[in-house]
Amino acid sequence: MSVLIFIDSSEGHVKKASLEVLTYGAKVAEQLGTTAEGVVLGSVTEDLAALGKYGVKKIHHVNDHALDHLDAQVYTNVIAQVAEASGAGVVIFSNNVDGKAIAPRLSVRLKAGLVSGAVALPDTGNGFVVKKNVFSGKAFANIAVSTPVKIIALSPNGYKIQAGEGTAEVVASTATVPAAKVKVTHVIKASGEVPLTEADVVVSGGRGLKGPENWNLVLDLAKELHAATACSRPVADAHWRPHNEHVGQTGIAIAPNLYIAIGISGAIQHLAGVNRSKVIVVINKDPEAPFFKAADYGIVGDAFEVVPQLTAAIKKLKGVA
Ligand SMILES: Cc1cc2nc3c(=O)[nH]c(=O)nc-3n(C[C@H](O)[C@H](O)[C@H](O)COP(=O)(O)OP(=O)(O)OC[C@H]3O[C@@H](n4cnc5c(N)ncnc54)[C@H](O)[C@@H]3O)c2cc1C
């Protein structure tokens, strides 16, 4: 009974979220006294054997161009075949966009209990109990999973990446790839150099910036920090910024290492999408803004004065001004 980890990739590159689930999955395997194996779908340019340093012993590679883009139904079918062939007792995903699309389908297919949004290693002392976030991160629930096969979708930033030594054995999987029922005719890529969900640093703006004409404040700071940009919902609703930048309960959930919120009040629906960030910096002119309660660092001040100074200070630090 092995632990199978879904190694998510995009355009041939393994996603950062996968390194987290690899580290986590290897620990789960260690706890259960078994081995960690990975599954990669589609063509990948990276050295998969090198992923062994995160603790995975074997990687099943289904190297078929038909899997280069996510199709949740096809991915579920192929991962189910690999899980069954490898005798997986636990299957692990990141609870990112891809994981959210595949894990519930796989759960139905394998009749496996699923815990999505896990934030800690399972307690295997008495059964199999997994801690997860509930109520937009306001509380935790401990979920006991009793099905023979168990699925965990780990919250992004839910576990620290740890690299050690070792290489993984990469095996060409014999899983068959079913014909897709839907066809992607074209893809429009979101603007921005760094995808929001993968970004280490995110600079985000709210209604406090008054209008789209002032967004250079956010963009200039983001450029200096090689950051992705985000916004609150009213900003996207007012078409100041595109909807793919809207973070929160009804937008994208992100978990960067650093989240800088400018002119955002910190409503619970906004926090729901950003409170997994490692460090939160809030810039707001109102000292009573609720966001300060969730902040690691806060600057009480007018964004129109503070942000240009911050950008200039970063440029100076980098020696470009
Ligand atoms: C069902 C539901 C789902 C929702 N989902 C989401 C969601 O996913 N994401 C989301 O963001 N919201 C969501 N909302 C909306 C949410 O409740 C808030 O209304 C929204 O987050 C507020 O956006 P804001 O902070 O940009 O604007 P405001 O609440 O208007 O806050 C603006 C802030 O800017 C500050 N400010 C003003 N001028 C300056 C200045 N010159 N310098 C510095 N600071 C300044 C003000 O002090 C204030 O704190 C949802 C609401 C509902 C009901």
User: Chain-wide mean pLDDT for the chain?
Assistant: 93
Q: Which residue has the higher pLDDT, 33 or 138?
A: 33
User: Ligand 1 in contact with 132 (CB < 6 A)?
Assistant: no
* Closest residue to atom 37 of ligand 1, CA basis: 208
User: Ligand 1 in contact with 284 (CB < 6 A)?
Assistant: yes
User: Ligand 1 in contact with 303 (CB < 6 A)?
Assistant: yes
Atom of ligand 1 nearest to the CA of 289: 49
What are the tens digits of pLDDT across the range 34-49? 999 999 999 999 999 9
Atom of ligand 1 nearest to the CA of 250: 8
What share of the chain in percent tops pLDDT 90? 79
Confidence at residue 124, expressed as pLDDT on a 0 to 100 scale: 94
User: Rounded to whole angstroms, how far apart are CA atoms 19 and 8?
Assistant: 9
280, pLDDT greater than 70: yes
Atom of ligand 1 nearest to the CA of 264: 25
320, pLDDT greater than 80: no
Q: How confident is the model at residue 247 (pLDDT cuts 50, 70, 90)?
A: very high
What would the mean pLDDT of 110-133 be, rounded to a whole number? 95
What are the tens digits of pLDDT across the range 91-117? 999 998 899 999 999 999 999 999 999
Q: How confident is the model at residue 228 (pLDDT cuts 50, 70, 90)?
A: very high
Instruction: Give, in order, the Cα–Cα distances in Å from 78 to each of 21, 67, 81.
Output: 19, 10, 5
196, 202, 215, 233: which to mutate for ligand 1, most atoms within 8 A of CB? 233
What are the tens digits of pLDDT across the range 4-22? 999 999 888 898 889 999 9
User: Ligand 1 in contact with 232 (CB < 6 A)?
Assistant: yes
136, pLDDT greater than 80: no
239, pLDDT greater than 90: yes
191, pLDDT greater than 70: no
Confidence at residue 237, expressed as pLDDT on a 0 to 100 scale: 97
Q: How confident is the model at residue 285 (pLDDT cuts 50, 70, 90)?
A: very high
Instruction: Give, in order, the Cα–Cα distances in Å from 129 to each of 8, 55, 250.
Output: 25, 22, 29
User: Rounded to whole angstroms, how far apart are CA atoms 262 and 125?
Assistant: 45
Q: Buried b vs exposed e over 266-278: b needs ≥16 C-beta within 10 Å?
A: bbeebbbbbbbbe
From ligand 1's centre to the CA of 268, what distance in Å?
9
Confidence at residue 321, expressed as pLDDT on a 0 to 100 scale: 60
137, pLDDT greater than 80: no
Confidence at residue 192, expressed as pLDDT on a 0 to 100 scale: 61
The answer to whether the CB of 116 falls within 8 A of the CB of 95 is yes
Dmax (CA) for the chain in angstroms is: 60
User: Ligand 1 in contact with 207 (CB < 6 A)?
Assistant: yes
Of the candidates 75, 110, 71, which has an alpha carbon nearest to the alpha carbon of residue 91? 110
33, pLDDT greater than 70: yes
